[in-house]
Structure 1
Amino acid sequence: MLASPNSLAATSTLAAAKIKRVVSSGGIEAWLLQDATVPLIAVEYAFGGGATQDPSDKSGVSRMVARLLDQGAGNLDSTTFHQRLDRRAIELSFESDRDHFGGSLRTLKDNKDEAFDLLRMALTSPRFDPADVERIRAGQLANLRHELTDPSSLAIRKFYEITFQDHPYARQAGGTLDSVPKINLADLKGYVRGVIAKDTLKIAVVGDIDPEDLCKLLDCTFSSLSDKSNLTPIPDVVATKPPQRVFIPLDVTQTFVTFGGPGVRRIEPDFMSAFVVNHILGGGLTSRLFREVREKRGLAYFIGERLVWMDHSSVFVGYSGTHADRAGGTVEEIERQVRHIAETGPTPQELDDAKSYVKGSQILALGTTSKLARTLLQHQLDKLPIDYLEKHDEVVDAVTLEDAKRAAARLWGDGLLTVLVGRSPVP
């Protein structure tokens, strides 16, 4: 059942008022939102590193580690480990993106001790049993083979290769058909030793637990990790400057288009202006691209665009699917809309509507314990203050029409990097 606007607003107020920074006796820090409404606890955590820490010739290591950590730990093989999780309805998962390695824990309050202990075991003593390693490797290779016939996967992969060239961001987190077979046990264990450490750890906890109990569990779970990670330094990088167009031939009826260019980083003063104006161009069913390309002209089956920010760079990325015969008209209209907003910026009404949406979407992001925990973790990774939820609407409201016009010119003034996958190139 959907929460009512009033209940969502109440959730936002509750979050802003009660978020606390707790530090255990062992020095483990977390942001805590204590809420006893239901006997649930949601935990989100992340370590610095992610796929950028894969060896340059063995992309895919971090993804394999993420899929293997819950496949047995300590004296528990994969089957027994999952039986323990299932018996207590504990949800435990791991993931890796470009910059971070982390995961989620969901548990009932009564099962918190066992849940946190299973997380401890997974992080500190993963088994990496040969049968599990080969099963996960086979699944990863199957996904990669599928992506070779998937136009959207091919387009986004090529886009990041062009955008970041020889930077680690150009590599695919899932690896390649050449790299994944080379990954060995030493690579997996070396990744864990180098990345999973206390110095880069960020934790967000939401639910029915008090600070004292949480501190005890934090020490039990994380205190035995290495104090210091061993990360390869990653340089900042500016995305390749547009315009540029690449075509990848693939015998499919639908042509897939990915387009984008340099964005605005989260730490920059213009970020919120860029975020708001980006919504106006491509952020939903009311966006210019959706209205002009899909609704008015019927050129595309779908279209959208978003701002993507990372620790060392930022891009805007758009996507569209269209019939092969309409690919030329689709790309032409996308480029026309991009030029127009870069030259004139948004209208005052568009800006007001977008600011209202951005503020409302923030409230929707706080509607459950899991969403709250993810939001609080992201705020930490973005180096935002602990009271940012209280300040968010003020930051959005402070975006002026001139700010939005400046951001639009910066984002789209140089045009687009465009990748098309389909039967024939666009003229």
Structure 2
Amino acid sequence: MIRFTLALVMGLATSVTALAAWAEVAIEEVTSPSGITAWLVEDHTIPFTALEIRFRGGTSLDAPDSRGAIYLMTGLLEEGAGEMDAREFARAREALAASYQFDSNDDDVSISARFLSENRPEAVELLRAAITAPRFDEDAVERVRGQVLSGLASDAKDPDDIAGKGWSAQIYGDHPYGTPGKGTLESVEALSRDDIVAAHEAVFARDRVYVGAVGDITPQELGAIVDELLADLPETGAPMPGPAELHVEGGTTVIPFQTPQSVALFGQPGIERDDPDFFAAMIAMHILGGSGESRLMQEVRVKRGLTYGVYSYLAPKDLAAVMVGRVASANDRIGAAIGVIGDEWARMAEEGVTQEELDAAKTYLTGAYPLRFKGNARIAGILVGMQMQGLPIDYIATRNDKVDAVTLEDVNRVAAELFRPEDLQFTVVGAPEGLDADTN
């Protein structure tokens, strides 16, 4: 019955928040008694709270000889904690109708929690155990290791995954971004329990934590919960890696793989999120490859029928900013698709955009923005993302004004500076016709 109630409440939370969130996202900054900052959107209409916690650094904090340790450690956080083994932990979570999700990527380890107000104390205590006292039992380690290894074996047969690893290795070199955060078959096989414990110590520290909460909770209650969960963590964790030095050569690299359709990832250095020209760059990239009406879709798919889909976007990561895109096409057509993408990249730099394109992009970007605020959990994630990006607390209210303020002159100036076809790097996985294994 409790589980049904949670599902019903979560559905209502999504519906109610989706209707009201855009107009009434009132964010309050909360400082816990121990000095940890959190952002809160109070909503007492439904007895339900979504909590998002992220630790900066992510899989980039792996020791060089223990790649994949943080990813494996993250997968073990629900596999027993404190006095409970994996089964006991699962039973306790189900009895509380609480939901916990643990994830990791290059830049952060994230914890997403959802719980009913009536079960809040017990749900928070269970989450505290997972964060501060994971067991890392041998049977759990081997079970989750097997799952990771199975996933890595599957990835090795996935052209998209192969292309992503190849492109990252070429662009980022020996920086942590240049090697897979999940590790390799060899590195994951070699991980010991000590490596997993060290990974936990590297990530979970107060100097890199960000918190967002939405729902039926007051500032005082949130402050107490934050301290219960995080106050006992060590002040510092592993040193953060330095910025990635981008290795930019341009051209096309082919990774042979037997498949009827080739996949290509492409990109070049991008623009930082805090750059004053970021919104102009965002609009230019949207016009080039950000929607079904983009130039790339029109030129590559609609006019020439070379692909079912092509896109590009800005990717300002913590330690490097790039512009990235993807296209897939038959082996005998991928070369033509790459040629058209290169031409459009150059045209963006040389000609910029038209006023009509700018107006359409602004309408799309400002109209689509409110749709992101669908559900308490989504909003909690946005609150944390804003903090990690250094955005002001009123950003939600002012973001569309910043988009609307971009002029045609702004976009075309930035496009001329930012888009550099000579730096555009393609990594192709497949058996493309007319492309050599390395055509740099």
Same fold (TM over 0.5): yes
Question: What pairs up with 1:70-89 in 2 under 5 angstroms?
Answer: 70-89=78-97
Aligned to 2:306: 299
Q: Among residues 369, 377, 388, which one is paired with 2:395 in the alignment?
A: 388
Relative to 1, partners in 2 of residues 1:179 and 1:330: Cα closer, same or farther, differing over 3 Å? same
Question: What pairs up with 1:293-372 in 2 under 5 angstroms?
Answer: 293-372=300-379
**Residue 117 of structure 1, CA deviation:** 1.1
Aligned to 1:373: 380
Aligned to 2:21: 11
Aligned to 1:181: 189
Instruction: In structure 2, give the amino acid aligned to 1:165.
Output: G
Aligned to 1:264: 271
Instruction: In structure 2, give the amino acid aligned to 1:258.
Output: L
Q: Distance in 2 between matches of 1:260 and 1:182?
A: 33
Instruction: Give deviations 1:125-156, integer Å, cap 9, x for gaps.
Output: 00001111111111111111111111111001
Q: Distance in 2 between matches of 1:369 and 1:150?
A: 34
Q: Distance in 2 between matches of 1:210 and 1:338?
A: 50
Contact 1:343 1:413 in 2 (8 A): no
Aligned to 1:290: 297
Instruction: Give deviations 1:177-220, integer Å, cap 9, x for gaps.
Output: 12111111111111111220112110000011111221221222
Unaligned runs of 5+ in 1: none
Q: Which moved more, 1:180-189 or 1:403-412?
A: 403-412
Relative to 1, partners in 2 of residues 1:297 and 1:11: Cα closer, same or farther, differing over 3 Å? same
**Residue 381 of structure 1, CA deviation:** 0.6
Q: Distance in 2 between matches of 1:142 and 1:7?
A: 38
Q: Distance in 2 between matches of 1:242 and 1:391?
A: 38
Aligned to 1:407: 414
**Residue 8 of structure 1, CA deviation:** 5.1
Contact 1:239 1:314 in 2 (8 A): no
Contact 1:240 1:261 in 2 (8 A): no
Q: Distance in 2 between matches of 1:187 and 1:99?
A: 19
Q: Distance in 1 between matches of 2:287 and 2:15?
A: 23
Q: Distance in 2 between matches of 1:240 and 1:383?
A: 27
Aligned to 1:156: 164
3-state SS of 1:178 partner:
helix
Q: Give the share of equivalent positions with the same residue, in percent.
A: 35
3-state SS of 1:235 partner:
coil
Backbone CA RMSD of aligned residues = 2.0
Contact 1:240 1:262 in 2 (8 A): no
Q: Among residues 223, 228, 236, which one is paired with 2:231 in the alignment?
A: 223
Instruction: Give deviations 1:59-105, integer Å, cap 9, x for gaps.
Output: 11111011001111000111111111112221101111112112200
Q: Distance in 2 between matches of 1:25 and 1:4?
A: 31
Aligned to 2:438: none
Aligned to 1:138: 146
Aligned to 1:43: 51
Q: Distance in 2 between matches of 1:6 and 1:29?
A: 27
Aligned to 2:72: 64
3-state SS of 1:186 partner:
helix
Q: Distance in 1 between matches of 2:246 and 2:12?
A: 39
Instruction: In structure 2, give the amino acid aligned to 1:14.
Output: E
Q: Distance in 1 between matches of 2:71 and 2:165?
A: 16
Q: Distance in 1 between matches of 2:37 and 2:146?
A: 37
Relative to 1, partners in 2 of residues 1:280 and 1:2: Cα closer, same or farther, differing over 3 Å? farther
TM-score (norm 2): 0.92
**Residue 319 of structure 1, CA deviation:** 0.6
Instruction: In structure 2, give the amino acid aligned to 1:344.
Output: E
**Residue 5 of structure 1, CA deviation:** 12
3-state SS of 2:421 partner:
coil
Unaligned runs of 5+ in 2: 1-10, 436-440
Contact 1:51 1:62 in 2 (8 A): yes
Contact 1:9 1:363 in 2 (8 A): no
Does residue 193 of the first structure (1) align with residue 201 of the second (2)? yes
Contact 1:343 1:409 in 2 (8 A): yes
